[in-house]
Amino acid sequence: MRANLFSMALLLLAPAAAEADLYPAKPVTMVVPYAAGGSSDVLGRVLALKMGEALGQNVIIELKPGAGGNIGAEYVARQARPDGYMFLFGASSLASNVSLMKLPFDPKKDLLPLAGVTAIPNLMITAGDGPLKTFADFVAMARQAPGSVTYGSSGPGTGSHLAGELLSAGYGLSLTHVPYKGSGAVYPDLIAGRITVLFDAMGSALGQVKGGKVRALAITSSKRSPAFPDVPTIAESGFPGYEMVTWFGFFAPAGTPREMIDKLNDATARALQSAEVRDRLQQSGAEAIPVGAGEFGKYFDADVERWSRLVKAGKIAPLP
């Protein structure tokens, strides 16, 4: 009897094992929860190409922007099958929103950390032909007319929003937040002068700055970037202790088999080692974060706790 039960168990496990061996047998979808042209879209497309080469299947980008990245994240968490064929290109807002918002899903329970990618500082940018020439000009404008200075963002709770919120709430500088569906959507209004500034990840801001369409006023990292050595940090410009970076990483639906997670993690690691991705990250002033699923999971949990402490201490208010 025991032998028969053992044989039946092996028969049940055989299809799952065979599926894992064949994975991926078709294209894999990377959900980018922000608008086209933003930092996630720009970096995601470079990664998708190199990950596809490592997997032997195309990695297709699917944009699902809105609600500060929550629409795309909820889609992967709640609707994607946990079979390894769809994963999320998440950002640091996934950690902060646990404390800042009432979410219709639980990032810690409904999503599984798959691989860390990188952390990138934001550039504070303004219109290239606008009135602001320096960060000091920006501060003076904000203090002379509180609330009149606007900053666009990728949406409530995103890194581009929290960079401004930390400066506003944490240091008493009155700024008005104007949310969009992604940083790429902010640029037309920023360049036209309808929005005063934007905190955007260096990866997507780089080309705009070098093209002269926008001007970099400051950087949100603790140190200046080799890519922009003349652009001061906010911390050194009268706001000591200020630091804000946006990290990026991959998440799969909870329940995705470990074999699929391991293959996607390996594809991520190989993509990060490619010359194309390394060059892109170097240009963006990127900082390394843990790549392995287990270590990236700890990194994610630590950031969730960081924002929880900031909210409890009154440094950041929960979003309506």
Contact 115, 250 (CB under 8 A): yes
Task: Return the residue matching tokens 């994240």.
Answer: 73
pLDDT at 14: 46
pLDDT at 233: 97
The whole-model pTM stands at 0.78
Neighbours of 13 (CB within 10 A): 10
- pLDDT-derived band at 94, boundaries 50, 70, 90: very high
**3-class secondary-structure state, position 143:** helix
- pLDDT-derived band at 1, boundaries 50, 70, 90: low
pLDDT digits (tens, 9 = 90+) for 284-309: 778 889 999 999 999 999 999 988 98
Q: Which domains does the chain have, with CATH numbers?
A: 9-120+247-312 (3.40.190.150), 121-237 (3.40.190.10)
Q: What is the mean pLDDT of residues 246-252?
A: 95
Percent of the chain's residues with pLDDT above 70: 94
- Reading the block at residue 201, the tokens are 């990840």
Contact 214, 190 (CB under 8 A): yes
Neighbours of 216 (CB within 10 A): 24
Q: Of 152, 185, 150, 179, nearest to 67 (Cα)? A: 179
Percent of the chain's residues with pLDDT above 90: 65
Q: What is the mean pLDDT of residues 244-262?
A: 95
Q: What is the mean pLDDT of residues 38-63?
A: 93
- Reading the block at residue 25, the tokens are 């047998």
- pLDDT-derived band at 7, boundaries 50, 70, 90: low
In the predicted structure, residue 230 carries a pLDDT above the cut 80: yes
- pLDDT-derived band at 320, boundaries 50, 70, 90: confident
pLDDT at 273: 96
Please confirm whether the linkage preceding 253 is cis (ω < 30° from 0).
no
In the predicted structure, residue 2 carries a pLDDT above the cut 60: no
Q: Which of 13-27, 225-239, 270-284 has the lowest mean pLDDT?
A: 13-27
In the predicted structure, residue 13 carries a pLDDT above the cut 80: no
pLDDT at 188: 96
In the predicted structure, residue 11 carries a pLDDT above the cut 60: no
Q: What is the mean pLDDT of residues 202-206?
A: 82
- What interhelical angle do 202-210 and 275-283 show, nearest 10? 70
Cα–Cα distance between 108 and 126 in angstroms, integer?
36
Cα–Cα distance between 138 and 126 in angstroms, integer?
9
Q: Which of 103-117, 219-233, 256-270 has the lowest mean pLDDT?
A: 219-233
Task: Return the residue matching tokens 């998708």.
Answer: 48
Strands (E), 128-270: 150-153, 176-179, 197-201, 214-219, 245-253
Looking at residue 104, its amino acid is: P
In a 10 Å sphere around its CB, with 0-12 CB exposed, 13-18 middle and 19+ buried, how is residue 94 labelled?
buried
pLDDT at 142: 95
Neighbours of 19 (CB within 10 A): 15
pLDDT digits (tens, 9 = 90+) for 146-181: 999 999 998 888 889 999 988 988 788 999 999 998
In the predicted structure, residue 108 carries a pLDDT above the cut 80: yes
Q: Which residue has better confidence, 302 or 316?
A: 302
